[in-house]
Amino acid sequence: MSQSLRLGVAGLGTVGASVVRMVARRAEAIAAATGREVRVTAVSSRDKTRDRGLDLSGVTWFDDPVALASSGEVDCVVELIGGSEGPAKATVEAAIAAGKHVVTANKALLAHHGAALSKAAEAKGVTLAYEASVAGGIPVIKALREGLTGNAVSRVYGIMNGTCNYILTRMEREGLTFEACLKDAQALGYAEADPTFDVEGFDTAHKLAILVSLAFGVEIDAEGVSVEGISAIQPLDLTMAEELGYRIKLLGVAQVAEGGIEQRVHPTMVPKSSAIAQVMGVTNAVTIDADAVGELTLIGPGAGGEATASAVVADIADIAAGVARPTFGRPAASLAPSERVAMQRHEGGYYIRLTVHDRPGVAAGVATRMAERDISIESILQRRSESAATKDPHGRSGQPVPLVLITYAATEGTIRAALDAIAADGLLAEAPQLIRIERE
């Protein structure tokens, strides 16, 4: 058997501790599969006194993860610190500079510095592996980089944040507000004390940027992703989606478009009959549309210590077996520049909820502004409360009521222009709600 692969684990949180345990528990199986023993020889974390339930006897402790990365005691550095800058970036850079392989779960680091790090890894002849950075235990990186090499991918989309999916699931099933579901998610440990990164879509955007590079052979462009979160979604939107045959999910979507790759993260209405609509709770799912296989959907745990550790250990096993592939599926120098497609050019169906004054001519005024921009309306639904309907014989109260429009395919730019005109006419009592429809 070849000389053992010595691991240095930087970061001993939930995932890091799970990786150490999994490597020990699966040591014989990993050795049998790869022909090489794999063992943890060094670790680093902020708190040495914390009881993690790990046997670290015979393992060297480093207070400084950069020192661990530069140490002669490790061949492969497993970075589980997190964050796009600071110690995580310094640790990965030091490991590559020292000629060591790197395994990371850090989507923010890759989204912002993946191009530079992949070039540095290539120059040093080492592997930069990151299966755990997107969708936790789902092997979507391997699927795109290895399993679908013979396919031309036209679209990648999915649920990549369990926190948002949990909140939307609870809102739909129980009719709760976003705020109430977020509070529960925080109590259960699904959401951070500051949930902005998750609920406003930035976490999903980082993951999508990574998938875009793999799927379409372009440089990572995290800044080119249009991002909207779920904090403005109201229970009424989920009720209306149900009536219309849809379910609302926060999706990351990337697809080939005229002039480049469209990259967007936003709440989306998906048909209830679709595979991705069945994914509830904290589960993640990624769908890949490709010419040879058609539609491929991968579903599984998107976070958690064991699930994420599973992806980390899979990368470690590849390195132990000598499996080496370019970081983003092809040499970094051959990645094409990412051509941004403005969100204004996106074309598709839209759910529009307008809160309008309940008075004569409002619906006609809305329809006129839509028609002026050649926006075709598939359906219009209006909701009045029973108390409002008793105010006058015509059922009008003059109070704000929701008016829901479903459009046929239109561009984002024309939809926005029509909504601006409707607002200028004084027909709206509050800002409109706009949700894109992603049909199968």
Which range has the worst mean pLDDT, 152-166, 315-329, 381-395? 381-395
> Does pLDDT of 425 surpass 50?
yes
Q: Where are the alpha helices (DSSP H) in 98-251?
A: 107-124, 140-142, 162-174, 178-187, 196-199, 202-216, 235-244
- Per-residue pLDDT band for 96 (boundaries 50, 70, 90) equals very high
Give 213 or 361, the one with higher predicted confidence. Answer: 213
Q: CB of 349 within 8 A of CB of 409?
A: yes
Alpha-carbon span 261 to 216, nearest angstrom: 8
Q: What pLDDT, on a 0 to 100 scale, did the predictor assign at position 214?
A: 95
Q: What pLDDT, on a 0 to 100 scale, did the predictor assign at position 389?
A: 45
Q: What pLDDT, on a 0 to 100 scale, did the predictor assign at position 352?
A: 97
Full-model pTM: 0.91
- Per-residue pLDDT band for 387 (boundaries 50, 70, 90) equals very low
The catalytic residue positions are 207
Find all residues with CB under 8 Å of 404, minimum gap 6, and list them.
240, 351, 352, 353, 354, 380, 381, 382, 383
Q: What pLDDT, on a 0 to 100 scale, did the predictor assign at position 388?
A: 45
The DSSP H or E segment spanning 107 is: helix 107-124
> Does pLDDT of 393 surpass 70?
no
> Does pLDDT of 344 surpass 80?
yes
**For all residues of the chain together, what is the average pLDDT?**
92
pLDDT digits (tens, 9 = 90+) for 351-376: 999 999 888 888 889 999 999 999 99
pLDDT digits (tens, 9 = 90+) for 54-82: 888 889 999 999 999 999 999 999 999 99
Q: What pLDDT, on a 0 to 100 scale, did the predictor assign at position 395?
A: 54
